[in-house]
Amino acid sequence: MSEKQTDRKPLTGGMIIYRRLLKYAFPYWKMFLASILAMIAYASLGPAFAKLIQPLIDGSFIENDPEILRQAPFILLGLSLARGIAGFAGDYCSGWVGRRVIADLRRDLFDQFLNLPCTYYDHASSGQLLAKLLYNTEQVANSLTKGVVAVFKDGLTIVGLTLLMVYENALLSLVFMVVGPVLGISIRQVSKRFRKISMRIQESMGNVGHVAQEVIDAQRIVKVFNGKGYETQKFARENERNQRRQMKLIVTDAAAGALIQLIYISGFAAILYVVSLDSVRHTITPGSLIAFIAAMAMMLSPIKRATQVVNIMQKGIAAGDSIFELLDKAREHDGGTQVLDAVKGHIEYKSVSLAYREGGDYALNNVDLTLMPGETIALVGQSGSGKTSLIRLLPRLYEPTRGEIRLDGRDIREFTLESLRRHIAYVGQEVTLFNDTVANNIAYGSRESVSPEEIRQAAGTAHALDFIEGLPQGFETVVGQQGIVLSGGQRQRIAIARAVLKNAPILILDEATSALDAESERHVQEALEVLMKGRTTLVIAHRLSTIQNADRIYVMRDGRIIESGTHEQLLRGKSYYAELHRLQFEHKAIRPISQVHAMP
């Protein structure tokens, strides 16, 4: 698990995070204000109910005036209706703002996903990231809407009821006020604990997501290597941990509820005791006493709710903290100001070094390399010698630690990322396909501007037309996650068709090391040859034919270029290349079985 955050202290204080969260609600301030106003109306109507009791009792029983009793049902219904409408409006508006905030947070997170640098993803877990996108955002919205609304709704109800109590009997109220500070301190303690547990729950949600995502992505390997038991255990561990933490939260919540109630009832009991004193009893009318007690009873729910709300807000703060931590991560550095328009394709690497980590080993060491426009160069070298690292620098997926790369005589860092990448087509070592139609995969990134006819042509150029037309829905066939329903060679040809369609002047090819059968190999080979024509091409070559056709070969070893020249030049003498060549290709002189059978 890459993103351990157990016991990570919040980056900033709760209020700062909460204020930042509130900023997300700010664009919807009208709706927010409406919900607050509705809640104020709702809250102020609460004490009215309690107030109604006093004239009702004192009027009807003590003063024997049935008039008030006759009006009472209508007043009651009227009040209920008004309170119902206010409550509905408040819930609706706050719910609306909450969902908007979730959507906006998700939009910002997604945008951040698109813009985080490769170096971030090298050490991130997609399960963890997804948990933030799906789970944490929900926590935030709850805390915002429920939190703010409750502050107004319950807070005002409490204030209103308190005022009523003071109005009915100041002395009794004073007795009752003693519980205030005790309540305050308890709520504070509980909420601190709540935030801590919430952070741990989020982290374990991430871990649950992480384990599940790995199993889903690697389900074939899990099956073949009998990894089910191992994965079950791994998942059970995270699941258990998550469940235990959730239970802690539930226990805290429940215990807090009981505690608050106890403290509150103590206040209640104290009042009853005081009232039982003869000297006090005479100062209060029965109606007043009942209204007072009703107000006190009505206050219990909002006070209990207020503690829960404080907890929900703590959850939101914990979630907000982890979301903001991600949102504050540095994005892919652009820095370019020039828009790269036309490209000739003259590429120079000048003393380029790359260390993936600061102070780590160099994957590339003082690499110099030149490509003239339209040339094709091949990179060869053992696994891990730095070939892929070298080509990744051209579209600025990573930045060189030292040295510079020039395109048409200018440092590529001068160009905006977008315009630089527009001129580069890339076919990677592992083909990346999206769970979309064949057509959309080929036209990836340029779907709007491309006609079906152009997609067809690109597929034709990539020697992919035959098999695509043989698919159940042709170009509209959905290829499954990572193109799972296609064969390896078919996937490669779709990736090639994508590069063909992009029609960029610079082409980067990281040939797949996996061998294809002779028939597919020939198709892919032909497709590549067409693709490379007329473009400046950097190809990491594993196929002999690609190497032989290259204008120049650069031989890499331990991050350095140790030899360069044409195939013939390099084969002469005792070069490292000759050795590599012998190891890699000599056994291929034995004809593949498929070809043997094809012989007459």
Among 13, 180, 384, 452, contact with ligand ATP (rule: CB under 6 A): 384
CA proximity to 49, closest of 263, 308, 301, 306: 301
**Cα separation of 333 and 350, whole Å?**
21
Q: Which stretch binds ligand ATP (CB under 6 A): 204-212, 318-326, 343-351, 381-389?
A: 381-389
Question: Site map for ligand ATP, 314-353, x if CB under 6 A?
Answer: ----------------------------------------
**Cα separation of 545 and 421, whole Å?**
28
Among 43, 50, 310, 363, contact with ligand ATP (rule: CB under 6 A): 363
Residue 365 near ligand ATP by CB under 6 A: no
Report the residue number, 239 or 388, with the smaller CB distance to Mg ion: 388
In degrees, rounded to 5, the angle at the alpha carbon of residue 453 between the alpha carbons of residues 452 and 454 is 90
User: CB of 343: closest distance to Mg ion in angstroms?
Assistant: 25
Q: Which stretch binds ligand ATP (CB under 6 A): 16-24, 72-80, 383-391, 565-573?
A: 383-391
Is residue 405 within 8 A of residue 352, CB to CB? The reply is: yes
Residue environment code for 330-365, b if the CB has 16+ CB neighbours within 10 A, otherwise e: eebeeebeeebeebebbbbbbebbbbeeeeeebbbb
The DSSP result for 133-167, as a single string, is IIIIHHHHHHHHHHHHHHHHHHHHHHHHHHHHHHH
Residue 584 near Mg ion by CB under 5 A: no
Q: Which stretch binds ligand ATP (CB under 6 A): 8-16, 72-80, 247-255, 377-385?
A: 377-385
The residues with which 407 forms a beta bridge, in sequence order, are 347, 410
302 binding partner (options Mg ion, ligand ATP, none; Cβ < 5 to 8 Å by kind): none
End-to-end, the C-alpha distance of the chain in Å comes to 57
Is residue 387 within 8 A of residue 381, CB to CB? The reply is: yes
Question: Site map for Mg ion, 386-415, x if CB under 5 A?
Answer: --x---------------------------
Report the residue number, 295 or 364, with the smaller CB distance to ligand ATP: 364
User: CB of 511: closest distance to Mg ion in angstroms?
Assistant: 9
96 binding partner (options ligand ATP, Mg ion, none; Cβ < 5 to 8 Å by kind): none
**Cα separation of 150 and 308, whole Å?**
10
Report the residue number, 360 or 452, with the smaller CB distance to Mg ion: 360
Please list, in sequence order, all residues whose beta carbon lies within 8 angstroms of the beta carbon of residue 558, skipping any fewer than 6 positions away.
365, 385, 386
Tokens representing 72 are 């009472």
Q: Which stretch binds Mg ion (CB under 5 A): 98-106, 200-208, 304-312, 382-390?
A: 382-390
**Cα separation of 7 and 2, whole Å?**
15
Report the residue number, 363 or 439, with the smaller CB distance to Mg ion: 363
Is residue 318 within 8 A of residue 198, CB to CB? The reply is: yes
User: CB of 397: closest distance to Mg ion in angstroms?
Assistant: 13
Residue 10 near ligand ATP by CB under 6 A: no
For residue 234, CA distances in Å to 209, 437, 459 come to 12, 35, 43
Report the residue number, 64 or 383, with the smaller CB distance to ligand ATP: 383
**Hey, which residues between 154 and 193 contact ligand ATP (CB under 6 A)?**
none
**Hey, which residues between 284 and 313 contact ligand ATP (CB under 6 A)?**
none
User: CB of 423: closest distance to Mg ion in angstroms?
Assistant: 22
Residue 430 near ligand ATP by CB under 6 A: no
Beta strand 347-355 pairing with 362-371: antiparallel
User: CB of 513: closest distance to Mg ion in angstroms?
Assistant: 8
Q: Residue 576: count other Cβ atoms within 10 Å of its Cβ.
A: 16
385 binding partner (options Mg ion, ligand ATP, none; Cβ < 5 to 8 Å by kind): ligand ATP
Q: Which stretch binds ligand ATP (CB under 6 A): 101-109, 128-136, 309-317, 386-394?
A: 386-394
The DSSP result for 575-599, as a single string, is -HHHHHHHHHHGGGGSPPHHHHHH-
User: CB of 252: closest distance to ligand ATP in angstroms?
Assistant: 41
CA within 13 Å, CB half, 136 = 33
Report the residue number, 209 or 386, with the smaller CB distance to ligand ATP: 386
Is residue 512 within 8 A of residue 492, CB to CB? The reply is: yes
Residue 419 near ligand ATP by CB under 6 A: no
Look at the block and give the residue holding tokens 């009998």: 226
Residue 382 near Mg ion by CB under 5 A: no
Residue environment code for 87-120, b if the CB has 16+ CB neighbours within 10 A, otherwise e: bebbbebbbbbbebbbebbbebbeebbeebbeeb
Residue 388 near ligand ATP by CB under 6 A: yes
Among 276, 279, 383, 449, contact with ligand ATP (rule: CB under 6 A): 383
Residue 387 near ligand ATP by CB under 6 A: yes
386 binding partner (options Mg ion, ligand ATP, none; Cβ < 5 to 8 Å by kind): ligand ATP
* Residue ranges binding ligand ATP (CB under 6 A): 122, 356, 363, 381, 383-389, 429
* Contacts with Mg ion, residue ranges (CB under 5 A): 388
